[in-house]
Amino acid sequence: MSIVEVKVPQLSESVAEATMLTWKKKAGEAVAVDEILIEIETDKVVLEVPAPSAGVLAEIVQPDGATVVADQLIAKIDTEGKASAAAPAAAPAAAPAPAAAPAAAAAAAAGGSKSDVAMPAAAKLLADNNLKTSDVAGTGKDGRVTKGDVLGAVASGAKPAATVAAPAAKPALPQVAAPASAPDLGERPEQRVPMSRLRARIAERLLQSQSTNAILTTFNEVNMAPVMELRKRFQDSFTKEHGVKLGFMSFFVKAAVHALKKYPVINASVDGNDILYHGYFDIGIAVGSPRGLVVPILRNADQMSFADIEKKIAEYGKKAQDGKLGIEEMTGGTFSISNGGTFGSMLSTPIINPPQSAILGVHATKDRAVVENGQIVIRPMNYLAMSYDHRIIDGREAVLGLVAMKEALEDPSRLLFDI
């Protein structure tokens, strides 16, 4: 027997520990070199753990949901072993692992059967949500229910078979199942779900931002007609030339960089009692993902073309949805842009992303009545909001910076001549 150890990959300096998600292989199953064995969630990203060698997964040392640190042993691979067809089937009922007995008990409590078994982490979730294994379609080997299956069922509104449906006039609360501890809640169900590491980290940073920054927000409105006309005029040729659509975000990024060059303090940050001015423009783009809000960075945005920006944003959006963003892609940044308009937001006061000192909030563009030259006209208007740290940015710089963005968007030719 030749054993190769599988360990937790190196984490970033700011990350102390991580959480094991769901094993994609079971003990006794064959694995190929570089095949993904499990994903590990930190408070920033989800890391994939590939198999360092081909062979058989001899032992799973750390189960689903375990808290681990960098370089910790989580599994062992026998490079000379052969997969046993019976091994995976026997694993849930076997007694070697201490968690097997509790898991079986939890599965029994959840209504599982010998041929319809839930994995240990899944069994606990089933019990917590008062579900039976028959309520969830299993995707694991031999139809076993995994943790991911239960989470997906809960998210889609799965309910216990015995639960009485709410009257049609009062639809049940979506994505909620009555907890086992209080089975008779009538029409007022509740569900307690622990925060993911990323969500907890987001909460921590938002509270940190509000408690350490003197946040103030200034607003302005921008007529998006010039940008919309320019975009419509060149969309087809732009897409044909660069293989990506010309969106609005590249205009906002260019306008922001234009303003930051004029007013460098907006691109600065606080370091103790010092103001740290950055001679580069790394723009964070807030992106929604299944795990929560992430802010990947467009590095040296001032040196990027419209096509470069659009391609990078598309790449980050895909990675965010797939959970593939790396720590280095979300580290740093000197200014951020949050586009709530994607979801229909009319106005908001964005919270600064530490250690940055300002953030631009972009909202939905809507036709509105405005006054031009004494006449009421209809224009596609967008409300911009810039939150800034008043400790280092005075109202004058903040207001003029936002005005510079407005002017660049209402007359995009300014971006060509840097005026």
384: enclosing H helix or E strand: strand 375-389
Last residue of one domain, picked from the residues 58, 78, 98: 78
What does the pLDDT read at residue 232? 95
What does the pLDDT read at residue 336? 97
Does any domain span residue 180?
Answer: no
- CB neighbourhood size of 156 (10 A): 9
Residue 91 CA: distances (Å) to CA of 86, 280, 418: 9, 55, 67
- Which residues are designated catalytic? 390, 394
Domain shared by 239 and 381, yes or no? yes
Domain shared by 207 and 342, yes or no? yes
Is residue 310 within 8 Å of 244, Cβ to Cβ?
yes
What does the pLDDT read at residue 120? 60
Distance separating alpha carbons of residues 43 and 9, to the nearest angstrom: 15
Is residue 122 within 8 Å of 149, Cβ to Cβ?
yes
Domain shared by 409 and 269, yes or no? yes
Does any domain span residue 230?
Answer: yes
- CB neighbourhood size of 107 (10 A): 27
Does any domain span residue 150?
Answer: no
Mind listing the pLDDT tens digit of every residue in the chain (419 residues)? Answer: 688 999 998 887 667 788 888 899 888 899 999 899 998 888 767 788 999 989 899 899 999 888 898 889 999 998 887 766 544 433 443 344 444 444 444 444 444 443 446 666 667 677 777 777 777 777 765 666 776 677 777 766 665 554 444 444 444 444 444 444 545 556 888 888 888 777 787 788 888 888 888 999 999 999 999 999 999 999 999 999 999 999 999 999 999 999 999 999 999 999 999 999 999 999 999 988 777 788 999 999 999 999 999 999 999 999 988 888 887 898 889 999 999 988 899 999 999 998 999 999 999 999 999 999 999 999 999 999 999 999 999 999 999 999 999 999 999 988 887 77
- Which domain, by its residues, includes 32? 3-78
Domain shared by 390 and 255, yes or no? yes
Last residue of one domain, picked from the residues 62, 78, 94: 78
Does any domain span residue 116?
Answer: no
Distance separating alpha carbons of residues 110 and 105, to the nearest angstrom: 9
Bridge partners of residue 275, in order along the sequence: 270
Does any domain span residue 99?
Answer: no
Q: What are phi and psi of 35, to 5 degrees?
A: -70, 135
Distance separating alpha carbons of residues 320 and 382, to the nearest angstrom: 26
Domain shared by 59 and 202, yes or no? no
CATH assignment at residue 294: 3.30.559.10
Angle between helices 120-128 and 147-155 (to 10 degrees): 30
Domain shared by 382 and 235, yes or no? yes
Number of domains the chain is built from: 2
Does any domain span residue 35?
Answer: yes
Distance separating alpha carbons of residues 40 and 9, to the nearest angstrom: 9
Residue 162 CA: distances (Å) to CA of 11, 67, 131, 334: 45, 35, 9, 54
What does the pLDDT read at residue 118? 62
What does the pLDDT read at residue 308? 97
Does any domain span residue 324?
Answer: yes
Does any domain span residue 283?
Answer: yes
Last residue of one domain, picked from the residues 61, 78, 95: 78
Bridge partners of residue 284, in order along the sequence: 297, 336
What does the pLDDT read at residue 173? 44
Q: Amino acid letter at 191? A: Q
CA dihedral 175, 338, 289, 52 (to 10 degrees): -150
Count, residues in the chain: 419
CATH assignment at residue 44: 2.40.50.100
CB-side neighbour CA atoms (13 Å) of 340: 17
Which ranges of 305-394 would DSSP assign to H, the alpha helix? Answer: 306-322
Distance separating alpha carbons of residues 92 and 99, to the nearest angstrom: 9
User: Two tokens at 74?
Assistant: 């989580």
**Rg, Å, the chain Cα set:** 26
